[in-house]
Structure 1
């Protein structure tokens, strides 16, 4: 038994040493570091202390998981305040009485339609043509209905009210006529009334056509009227009005001087002083027509201040 005990002790020592990891690692494998209990405790304590006093490298590198709030409201732009345009005039002051007045001071005109001059050009409508036949148009006239146009436009009346009227003109000057009266509206140029020559004026007592003398005395603005030259009917020469290529505006304020010296309809405004509804040489109102290729009769040797033609 003593012999067995002697061999058993060394063998037990070898087995204990091998079980504690002191033996060699497998060939080619890494060596394992073994910490003693004291070293392990020291390392754990150091790690715990470091994590409580400073953020770890892993924590500082990780992006924040807190969602960021985005600006959803567009930035406010600061722009200069724009002043609204002044309101369009609804009415002007009535024109005071002059030294001479037409048969009707403030005619009853149609109300204005739409804003501004609102000019329009259209064929002569049936109702108007029916009133013209036998008066401002008769058989044998140099132009027919198909060559004429009806120009409608707003204007400033002598009563200060925005009104609407129309003239019948040759189709060749319809656009120019609309543009000229649009310009007069912008200038706030006064027009007494604007009615086509038709049965409402009666027949001309001195020849064909509607009664232009009644229209002049009423200070009516008109254009087409198949008649002879005013004051010279014996010549039987058709006026430019018979072709629709002439326009008379504010006859009373802009009189016509015939070749024999007779003044129609009144001599008062031969003084040509600036006044509402009066055309003066070089003025903007005359330019409204001459800029459209129409000639002004006010510059003739026997002036016709109311007259524009092409």
Structure 2
């Protein structure tokens, strides 16, 4: 568990589960699920996951060998919860951010629960996107807020970490070049999807994935599961960016 992640104002879960079947963990330290707003296990008629019970431990499974249902939770946070990724010059206040717990499918072909900080206004989009990725069993390596890496984007990328909000000290507030400072951008599997917009790919291990025709698990490709899940929610992929491909980066406006 990342000790810095203390969720202080968590509302109670909607319904307590009667039983929870234990699934294997990924080996990556993840905070426990501390739900506030319980969000869907399965899509409703509108495509938005409907309300359901949320466990306070491992993902539930309805039968031996069955895939646990998708789960997402949304919780408020304070500045104390984002000490390395937020400062007073950032263009968004902690009160406008949310901590989400999300089911994801690991490279070990098993279900896990990860955590991510995003803008409150995009939690519905994020829920829909990751519900699709989970249902399609698109593999994600790791999912932790960048505070787990002391706000270091380089370290988060090197760990192949999927993350959202980051506005560390030294960033330029409202003039910040990325929607990450607003919590309206998400980087997915940075090693498999390197930022190739500069002279050298970031993270360095991403050089092994610069050949995008060599399709491997976890990669973002045109018309692939990952790209289609984000674009269906109205988000923009920076893979085909004219300023240089950033395969990991998805945002609400392309920045």
What's the offset of the Cα at 1:159? 2.1
Verify: 1:172 aligned to 2:121, yes or no.
Answer: yes
Match of residue 303 from structure 1: 245
- TM-score, normalised to structure 2, is 0.68
Give yes or no for contact 1:229–1:239 (8 Å, CA) kept in 2. Answer: no
Identify the match of residue 28 of structure 2 among 96, 107, 116.
Answer: 107
Deviations 1:209-251 (A, max 9, x none): x101000000001000004999xx9xx7442100111000111
Q: Is the 8 A contact 1:227 1:241 kept in 2?
A: no
Distance, in Å, in 1 between the alignment partners of 2:207 and 2:170 is 19
Report how far residue 106 of structure 1 moved: 5.7
Match of 1:119 in 2: 72
Q: C-alpha separation between the residues in 2 aligned to 1:182 and 1:249? A: 15
Give yes or no for contact 2:157–2:191 (8 Å, CA) kept in 1: yes
Matched pairs, number:
192
Of 235, 240, 243, which residue of structure 1 is paired with 2:182?
243
Output the CA distance in 2 between the equivalents of 1:228 and 1:240: 16
Q: Is the 8 A contact 1:149 1:168 kept in 2?
A: yes
Q: Which has the higher helix share?
A: 1
* Correspondences of 1:218-229 after superposition (within 5 Å): 218-227=159-168
Alpha-carbon separation, structure 2, partners of 1:188 and 1:91: 16
**Structural RMSD (CA):** 2.6
1:276-307 CA deviation, whole Å, 9 max, x = no partner? 11111111221111100100111212111111
Query: Which TM-score applies when normalising by structure 1?
Result: 0.57
**Structure 1 residues 191, 112: closer, same or farther in 2, change over 3 A?**
farther
Q: Distance in 2 between matches of 1:183 and 1:275?
A: 19
Q: Distance in 2 between matches of 1:144 and 1:193?
A: 26
What secondary structure is seen at the aligned counterpart in 2 of 1:250? coil
Q: Please give the alpha-carbon distance, in whole angstroms, between the structure 1 residues aligned to 2:237 and 2:183.
A: 15
